[in-house]
Amino acid sequence: MSAPAKPRYRIVIVGGGIVGLFTSYHLAKAGAGPILVLERGFLSSGASGRNGGGVRQQWETRATIRLAREAVQEYRRFGREFGYNPWFRQGGYLFLAETRTEIARLHSVHETVRSEGLPSRELAPEEVREIAPAISPEGIVGGTFLDSDGTLYPFPVLWAVYEKARSLGVEVALGVEALGIVRDRGRVAGVATPSGTIGADVVVNAAGGWSAELSRRAGLPVENTPTRHEILATEPVKPCLDPMVIRLSDGLYVSQTMRGELVGGRSMPHAPGTEGGMSTSPEFLPSMARSLVRLIPRAASLGVLRAWSGYYDDTPDGLPVIGEDPRLPGFVHANGFGGHGFMLAPASTRRVAKAALGEAIDLDPGAFGPARFLDPDRRAVPEHLQPG
Ligand SMILES: Cc1cc2nc3c(=O)[nH]c(=O)nc-3n(C[C@H](O)[C@H](O)[C@H](O)COP(=O)(O)OP(=O)(O)OC[C@H]3O[C@@H](n4cnc5c(N)ncnc54)[C@H](O)[C@@H]3O)c2cc1C
């Protein structure tokens, strides 16, 4: 545990995952100190240390495509800016369809992605095989592919942003929980912790799967829901898979790391909530094994090195929540990133930092703002292309 050094900060960020740390970095670069990040666990204890490292620009909504495209550019220059190699490998993302309905869905995504200037391709089954010869052709009726999508290693990214933020003066207190939000005259005045209150003009809720709990502690009901997702890594094998592969029918996603491990997961019917823990369930391994071997037959002989789970922070429309809560001035949301917070972090947290400073941001409040859930007539276009 590292106690905060000061009694008061301009901005306190709750959550030391990639969203909280990247936000602190953008704020520090803007000269907005003093800044404190409160993390009740250890670095990478949340979803940021438990994800598949996928970075893709193939999405249903233009807003997500634009944020993701910006993030791809940022991850390409990450090593130069932060001095750590994130091992961002642009082997592409290959989506697989097994029915005409899935083909139609991918076609619509493809049209939107192309109209945003990204050269996604629609593939016939034989072209799928050219891109990923290790996968079984059985049942595949087509797919889409974008070669500038890719994967990275989350840990060096997290560590690099942590180090850089601290070098710019951000304080990160590990092992310190935000128990509640202190109000004064109708706005945020600080954060309650086990060792007392820390004063703050602004509090950023970057608590990932626990963001709804933190909002509730601030007296603000929200529609975010934590959902548990499981993932595993096999023992390493010779390189056999360049792209990240996603199969729509069962939500399977898998990529191969530079060390040769196959890393992937699939949708499981877990009840919402964070009570399920972060280990693996007895149902996951057999179910994932069946899915993976159906896709990559040679995986049948592979041992599993480790399996674990983490929490998506889901919203009803699949889009993150970014901006100040109109019910509590000074309380800024940076949450609801579902299964794509790592890839969107560099771009979206630049907007979070601006929102925390009271500056205008270039995101449609009807799509990203917290007030959208308070509007009974909301009509945001949902983003539901979730797996991987
Ligand atoms: C299995 C899995 C696979 C995924 N695959 C991908 C992928 O391929 N690509 C991608 O982009 N995304 C992926 N994601 C999603 C991605 O990991 C998350 O969207 C992202 O890491 C969210 O970052 P965060 O900082 O918001 O949350 P987190 O990393 O969860 O950080 C939140 C932190 O807040 C802390 N906290 C919570 N409450 C409090 C409190 N009251 N006081 C103090 N601290 C608190 C927690 O301890 C936690 O460390 C995946 C997620 C999972 C679980």
How do residues 9-22 score in pLDDT, each as one tens digit? Answer: 999 999 999 999 99
CA gap 105, 23 in Å, rounded: 34
Q: Which fold is adopted by the domain 91-148+227-310?
A: D-Amino Acid Oxidase; Chain A, domain 2 (3.30.9)
Tell me the pairing of strands 121-123 and 142-146.
antiparallel
The answer to whether 124 and 137 are in contact (CB under 8 A) is no
CA gap 248, 66 in Å, rounded: 22
Q: What is the identity of the amino acid at 192?
A: A
**Residue 353: its H or E element:** helix 341-356
Which of 21, 40, 322 has most ligand 1 atoms within 8 Å of CB, for mutation?
40
> Is 159 in a helix, a strand, or coil?
helix
CA gap 118, 182 in Å, rounded: 46
DSSP per position, 24-72: HHHHHHTT---EEEEESS-TT-SGGGSS--EE----SSHHHHHHHHHHH
The answer to whether 16 and 208 are in contact (CB under 8 A) is no
Contacts of 12 (CB under 8 A, 6+ apart): 35, 36, 37, 38, 178, 190, 191, 198, 200, 202, 203, 204
Cα-based angle 217, 222, 224 (whole degrees, multiple of 5): 105
What would the two tokens of residue 241 be?
């898979």
Ligand 1 centre to CA of 142 (Å) is: 32
Q: What is the CA radius of gyration of the chain?
A: 21
Q: How far is CA 68 from CA 19, 58, 128, in A?
A: 14, 8, 24
Contacts of 244 (CB under 8 A, 6+ apart): 52, 54, 56, 91, 92, 93, 94, 149, 150, 151, 253, 254, 255, 388
CA-nearest residue, atom 10 of ligand 1: 340
How do residues 175-228 score in pLDDT, each as one tens digit? Answer: 999 999 999 999 999 999 999 999 999 999 999 999 999 999 999 999 999 999
pLDDT of residue 270: 93
Q: Give the global pTM.
A: 0.97
Of the pLDDT bands very low, low, confident and very high (cuts 50, 70, 90), residue 3 is: confident
Determine the atom of ligand 1 nearest the C-alpha atom of 308: 1
Domain range list for the chain: 1-90+149-224+315-388, 91-148+227-310
Q: What is the mean pLDDT of residues 35-39?
A: 98
CA-nearest residue, atom 51 of ligand 1: 51
CATH number for the domain whose boundaries are 1-90+149-224+315-388: 3.50.50.60
Residue closest to 367 by CA, chosen among 325, 319, 330, 324: 319
CA-nearest residue, atom 37 of ligand 1: 207
* Window from 125-129, 301-305, 375-379 with minimum mean pLDDT: 375-379
Determine the atom of ligand 1 nearest the C-alpha atom of 46: 30
pLDDT of residue 247: 97
DSSP per position, 361-388: -SS-HHHHSGGGGG-TT--PPP------
Phi, psi of 193 (to 5 degrees): -125, 170
Hunting for tokens 């995504």 — which residue is that? 109
Residue with the bigger pLDDT between 181 and 267: it is 181
pLDDT of residue 379: 65
Hunting for tokens 């130069």 — which residue is that? 80
Phi, psi of 5 (to 5 degrees): -80, -25
Ligand 1 centre to CA of 49 (Å) is: 7
Q: What is the DSSP letter of 106?
A: H
Helix axes 100-115, 62-76, angle to 10 degrees: 70
What would the two tokens of residue 281 be?
């369930």
Ligand 1 centre to CA of 276 (Å) is: 15
Which of 39, 42, 246, 335 has most ligand 1 atoms within 8 Å of CB, for mutation?
39
How do residues 63-118 score in pLDDT, each as one tens digit? Answer: 999 999 999 999 999 999 999 999 999 999 999 999 999 999 999 999 999 999 99
How do residues 294-325 score in pLDDT, each as one tens digit? Answer: 999 999 999 999 999 999 999 999 999 999 99
CA gap 240, 262 in Å, rounded: 10
Across the strands, what pairs with 198? 191
* Residues with C-beta less than 6 Å from any ligand 1 atom: 14-20, 38-41, 45-48, 50-54, 177-178, 206-210, 214, 229, 231, 265, 310-312, 337, 339-343, 388
Ligand 1 centre to CA of 337 (Å) is: 8
The answer to whether 57 and 113 are in contact (CB under 8 A) is yes
Determine the atom of ligand 1 nearest the C-alpha atom of 341: 19
Of the pLDDT bands very low, low, confident and very high (cuts 50, 70, 90), residue 345 is: very high
Average confidence score pLDDT of the chain: 96
pLDDT of residue 384: 76
How do residues 228-265 score in pLDDT, each as one tens digit? Answer: 999 999 999 999 999 999 999 999 999 999 999 999 99
